[in-house]
Chain A
Amino acid sequence: MAYDKFTTLTSTAVPLPLENVDTDQIIPARFLKATKREGFGDNLFRDWRYNNDNTPKESFVLNNPIYSGKILVGGKNFGSGSSREHAAWAVYDYGFRCVVSSFFADIFRNNCLNVGVLPVQVSAEFSEQIFNAIYDDPNTEIEVNLPNQTITILSTGAQESFEINSYKKENMLNGFDDIDYLQNIKGDIETFANGLLL
């Protein structure tokens, strides 16, 4: 899909220090019935965010006005479970452009990269430092620099570098997606397919 280019993002961040946040929490299955991709942000973390009568749960971080920003900082094993890309759409649609965690589930990470959300994997220690910095001062800004592949806590200057393969990095920097690439090598694909037994 077409998405905005990602270069450097400087923003406050929203802390969600739970582990194993699964895609059923990010977007529950009953909200997967749309046939278009927009609008999922309204139901991001629906059952943690709202009571049964649709009033906001004050204790949940997205309902706490102290915390805001374009960066979501999650606990270990973020995005486990289902392959629903709707989870990544919901994160994007809500306004996040980057998710930080000490460990990501594979499919969710992949889906994020395909829809313009940058997954940044940091060490457990750095993750801890980010949470502490945000809890010390919710206005703490985090800088995510994709060209340099670094993440920095601006208030403390603490910095760590992160991994992303050079192909996906180029895509994010330019707002390209994989279909653009695949369309250009269709001849190779057809030659390959002609050689298959089944």
Chain B
Amino acid sequence: MSKTLFDKVWDSHVVRKIEGGPDVFFIDRHFIHEVTSPVAFLGLKSRGLKVLYPERTFATADHNTPTINQHLPVQDPLSANQLKALEDNSNEYGISHWGLGHQKNGIVHVVGPENGITFPGATIVCGDSHTSTHGAFGAIAFGIGTSEVEMVLSTQCIMQPKPKKMRINVNGQLGKGVTPKDVALYIISQLSTSGATGYFVEYAGDVFENMTMEGRMTVCNLSIEMGARGGMIAPDETTFAYLKDKPLSPKGADWDKAVAHWKTLKTDAGAKFDKELTFSASDIEPMITYGTNPGMGMGISKNIPNAEAVEGGVATYKKSLEYMGYNENDAMIGKKIDYVFLGSCTNGRIEDFRAFASIVKGKKKADHVTAWLVPGSHEVEDKIKEEGILDILTEAGFVLRQPGCSACLAMNDDKVPAGKYAVSTSNRNFEGRQGPGSRTLLASPLVAAAAAVTGVVTDPRELL
């Protein structure tokens, strides 16, 4: 029987099926960080349980780490306490720990792929909804709650009903200045933040086939923002080339054996999806959000829609625009902005910094704009320096910070003040997401760069 890529990976990880209930689902790779793991370890301790396969779990500190002066003790005692809990728990149970200051430290969804922990056909979970990022490699990867973190630690399994399957095809040629982030924000704007709830998505079509691994990670990362548990892309030569010789990728004969298996991981002709959608690349322009959820996005040259033209409740929509300080029919181009954030598990990789630099090169940061440029890992930071990007950024008046989740969720000191506008390459524009009262405009690194040098929302195509 024809199977989808998702079926192949899912079905090969079911330890046991429960009649009328979920599957007992085996997890190949488990990432943990300081925020959603401490209570899971408390649970283990209170039950007197061990970690079943410590070699399958990887700990990284990222959510509330500072992005300056990382060599100094962490000032916030609560953050310091969580970081210490992660370190102590990792040591106690024999889990690899890349804490603050470690050369491998960085955002969990950046360092995982970078080090070859992620691989095609794997099942990957983490107490973080953007775990969907790893789907770029043809893995089933999704976010879980802390109770499930405890299950994975103690049994390497969780109990999951199998989601429905959706395929999203995007075909054609992307226009100038249109990035993987724009493709994702476009799809979310078409589906809304709940349009894919209950589904696991496979992205297909030549737009994704022609994308780099980093672009695919950006797209899969944002799957959760349309409600999907995760999204995945069939592994191909681009995937294998990325993974070859990564520190933890299989080597020698193991590599050959793995690749031979990975090549079978694609949707068979005739396999059935519960839902299938197709979009045209030529309809996508650089995107920007104007409201308080990622579905409230539009082409940057357009005007904010009328409440009546939007699906869903008028009251909720108007409350959202009121929070943003915007009106129906406003143009986004020319709106004044105060902050720019380049970084996060969505857009904190080297290609994102290259894109940002391509716009700001030879220009100057607008005086009134505060810019936070935060690499996703030390490896990204090193490449920024090696490739001369740091020189371009410095020349243009920007400062590079140290790796971490930073202003994406503002658990550390990188908070956008109340009422201020931030063009952000991250993944959520919820009320207060980047600090209490902050107002977020989600966009690509190119749009963020254009705003950083002009001080207003600007079409990046005019600066390319």
Which residues of A are in contact with B by a Cβ distance under 8 Å? 1, 17-20, 22, 24-25, 28-30, 32-37, 47, 52, 75-77, 80-86, 88, 103-107, 110-111, 114-115, 165-168, 177-179, 181-183, 185-186, 188-190, 192-193, 196-198
Task: For residue A157, give the distance in angstroms from its CB to the closest CB of chain B.
Answer: 27
The distance in angstroms between the C-alpha atoms of A144 and B347, with both chains bound, is: 44
| With A178-B159, A182-B154, A198-B258 as contacts: A85 and B147 at CB distance below 8 Å | yes
Please indicate the chain B residues that have their CB under 8 angstroms from the CB of A111 in the complex.
145, 147
| Cβ–Cβ contact B161 & A165, under 8 A | yes
Please indicate the chain A residues that have their CB under 8 angstroms from the CB of B81 in the complex.
33, 35
| Cβ–Cβ contact B428 & A182, under 8 A | no
Task: For residue B17, give the distance in angstroms from its CB to the closest CB of chain A.
Answer: 11
| Cβ–Cβ contact A83 & B143, under 8 A | yes
Q: Does B187 sit within 8 A of A, measured CB to CB? A: no
| With A24-B431, A33-B411, A85-B36 as contacts: A193 and B156 at CB distance below 8 Å | yes
Please indicate the chain B residues that have their CB under 8 angstroms from the CB of A37 in the complex.
39, 42, 146
The distance in angstroms between the C-alpha atoms of A33 and B34, with both chains bound, is: 9
| Cβ–Cβ contact A193 & B53, under 8 A | yes
Q: Does B128 sit within 8 A of A, measured CB to CB? A: yes
The distance in angstroms between the C-alpha atoms of A82 and B158, with both chains bound, is: 18
Task: For residue B411, give the distance in angstroms from its CB to the closest CB of chain A.
Answer: 5
The distance in angstroms between the C-alpha atoms of A1 and B47, with both chains bound, is: 10
Interface centre among A20, A110, A196 (most CB of B within 10 A): A20
| Cβ–Cβ contact A29 & B293, under 8 A | no
The distance in angstroms between the C-alpha atoms of A163 and B433, with both chains bound, is: 32
Task: For residue A115, give the distance in angstroms from its CB to the closest CB of chain B.
Answer: 7
Chain B 139-177: CB-based contact to A (< 8 A → 1; otherwise 0): 000011111101100111111010100000000000000
Please indicate the chain A residues that have their CB under 8 angstroms from the CB of B131 in the complex.
83
**What are 14 pairs between A and B in contact, CB < 8 Å?**
A24-B428, A29-B409, A33-B79, A35-B85, A52-B437, A75-B316, A77-B194, A80-B227, A84-B35, A103-B197, A166-B20, A167-B159, A182-B155, A196-B26
Which residues of B are in contact with A by a Cβ distance under 8 Å? 15-16, 18-22, 24, 26, 28, 35-36, 38-39, 42-43, 47, 49, 52-53, 63-64, 76, 78-79, 81-82, 85, 119, 122, 127-129, 131, 143-148, 150-151, 154-159, 161, 163, 193-194, 197-198, 227, 229, 250, 257-258, 261, 293, 312-313, 315-316, 319, 409-411, 418, 428, 430-433, 436-437
Instruction: Identify B157's interface contact among A28, A166, A177, A182, CB under 8 A.
Output: A182
| Cβ–Cβ contact B293 & A32, under 8 A | no
Chain B residue at minimum C-beta to C-beta distance from A191: B15
| With A19-B316, A47-B431, A189-B155 as contacts: A106 and B21 at CB distance below 8 Å | no
Task: For residue A175, give the distance in angstroms from its CB to the closest CB of chain B.
Answer: 14
Please indicate the chain A residues that have their CB under 8 angstroms from the CB of B433 in the complex.
24, 29
| Cβ–Cβ contact B26 & A189, under 8 A | yes
Chain A residue at minimum C-beta to C-beta distance from B84: A35
Please indicate the chain B residues that have their CB under 8 angstroms from the CB of A88 in the complex.
145
Please indicate the chain A residues that have their CB under 8 angstroms from the CB of B227 in the complex.
77, 80, 105-106
| With A178-B147, A182-B24, A189-B157 as contacts: A76 and B16 at CB distance below 8 Å | no
Please indicate the chain A residues that have their CB under 8 angstroms from the CB of B432 in the complex.
24-25, 28, 47
| Cβ–Cβ contact B293 & A165, under 8 A | no
The distance in angstroms between the C-alpha atoms of A190 and B26, with both chains bound, is: 10
Please indicate the chain B residues that have their CB under 8 angstroms from the CB of A20 in the complex.
193-194, 293, 312, 316
Please indicate the chain A residues that have their CB under 8 angstroms from the CB of B293 in the complex.
20, 22, 80
The distance in angstroms between the C-alpha atoms of A192 and B27, with both chains bound, is: 11
Please indicate the chain B residues that have their CB under 8 angstroms from the CB of A115 in the complex.
147
| Cβ–Cβ contact A177 & B147, under 8 A | yes
Please indicate the chain A residues that have their CB under 8 angstroms from the CB of B155 in the complex.
179, 182-183, 186, 189
The distance in angstroms between the C-alpha atoms of A106 and B257, with both chains bound, is: 36
Instruction: Identify A114's interface contact among B49, B128, B148, B418, CB under 8 A.
Output: B148
Task: For residue B256, give the distance in angstroms from its CB to the closest CB of chain A.
Answer: 12
Closest 8 CB pairs of A and B: A167-B21, A83-B143, A85-B145, A33-B78, A111-B145, A35-B38, A114-B147, A166-B20
Please indicate the chain A residues that have their CB under 8 angstroms from the CB of B129 in the complex.
81-83, 107
Task: For residue B89, give the distance in angstroms from its CB to the closest CB of chain A.
Answer: 10
| With A47-B432, A182-B154 as contacts: A106 and B411 at CB distance below 8 Å | no
Please indicate the chain A residues that have their CB under 8 angstroms from the CB of B431 in the complex.
24-25, 47
The distance in angstroms between the C-alpha atoms of A181 and B23, with both chains bound, is: 12
Please indicate the chain A residues that have their CB under 8 angstroms from the CB of B261 in the complex.
197
Chain B residue at minimum C-beta to C-beta distance from A83: B143
| Cβ–Cβ contact B258 & A197, under 8 A | yes
Besides A17-B315, A182-B157, 17 more A-B contacts (Cβ < 8 Å) are A18-B313, A25-B430, A25-B432, A33-B79, A82-B128, A83-B129, A85-B36, A85-B39, A86-B146, A103-B197, A105-B227, A110-B145, A165-B21, A167-B18, A178-B151, A183-B155, A193-B53
| With A35-B82, A47-B432 as contacts: A19 and B313 at CB distance below 8 Å | yes
Interface centre among B19, B79, B131, B145 (most CB of A within 10 A): B145
